[in-house]
């Protein structure tokens, strides 16, 4: 019987330009900044994170329990060239979405530089190869054209319009089966 892989607070993955590691309390100031960017609030929603202390509570209550339970959760993406925290990407067990959902967000200064595709494709590889997930989904609002473009570039296919609990917004649901994943496989 193969031992199940679990990411821990010290698990690190890398791409050509990024270090990917589980978000921890040492990322509280960064999480506070990211969750208060205009695009986060517009497309993901206001999480009422107004201070570093609020961000610490959010990490402890929302991110770390899933990491401990499932072995994956939110990750902080760090640029190798200068150690700058630039965004997040993770695999989530989100209520209202069948299976595992991939999500990503970046500080405005690091958008449109290929980091989102680099980080998200690595997270999909980790999901399929390391965690042996059968399917990964993604959700986005109809208005978030940049997110839709990235999701489609990752090779995910549109499935339906859905709503998740406690949110009235119509969301576009995309998904990909493990057998369809080809990014990075050569």
Residue 3: its pLDDT value, please? 38
Whole-angstrom Cα distance, residue 118 to residue 166?
Answer: 31
- Please give the DSSP secondary-structure letter assigned to residue 109: G
pLDDT at residue 72 tops 60 = yes
Burial (Cβ within 10 Å: 0-12, 13-18, ≥19) of residue 58 = buried
DSSP 64: H
Domain spans in the chain, listed from the N-terminal domain onward: 16-180
Q: Distance between CA 125 and CA 28 in Å, rounded?
A: 27
Q: Exposed, middle or buried by CB within 10 Å (0-12, 13-18, 19+), for 115?
A: buried
Query: What is the 8-class DSSP label of residue 71?
Result: S
pLDDT at 8: 67
**Looking at residues 61-69, what average pLDDT do you find?**
94
The residues pairing with 50 across neighbouring beta strands, listed in sequence order, are: none
Query: Can you give the pLDDT at residue 156?
Result: 96
Checking if the pLDDT of 1 tops 80, the result is no
The per-residue pLDDT for 166 is 83
CATH 3.40.50.300 fits 16-180, yes or no: no
Predicted confidence at residue 22, as pLDDT, reads 96
């Amino acid at each position: 019987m193969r031992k199940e892989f679990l990411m821990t607070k010290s698990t690190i993955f890398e791409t050509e330009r990024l270090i990917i590691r589980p978000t921890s309390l040492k990322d509280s100031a960064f999480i506070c900044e990211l969750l208060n960017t205009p695009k986060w609030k517009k497309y993901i929603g206001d999480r009422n994170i107004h201070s570093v202390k609020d961000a610490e509570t959010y990490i402890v209550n929302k991110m770390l329990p899933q990491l401990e339970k499932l072995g994956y959760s939110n990750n902080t993406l760090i640029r190798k060239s200068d150690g700058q925290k630039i965004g997040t990407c993770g695999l989530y067990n989100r209520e209202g979405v069948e299976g595992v959902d991939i999500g990503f967000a970046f500080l405005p200064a690091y958008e449109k530089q290929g980091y989102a595709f680099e980080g998200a494709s690595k997270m999909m590889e980790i999901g399929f190869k390391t965690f042996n997930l059968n399917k990964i989904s993604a959700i986005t609002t109809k208005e978030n054209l940049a997110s839709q473009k990235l999701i489609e570039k990752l090779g995910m296919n549109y499935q339906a319009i859905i709503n998740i609990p406690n949110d009235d917004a119509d969301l576009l649901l995309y998904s990909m089966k493990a057998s369809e994943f080809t990014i990075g496989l050569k």
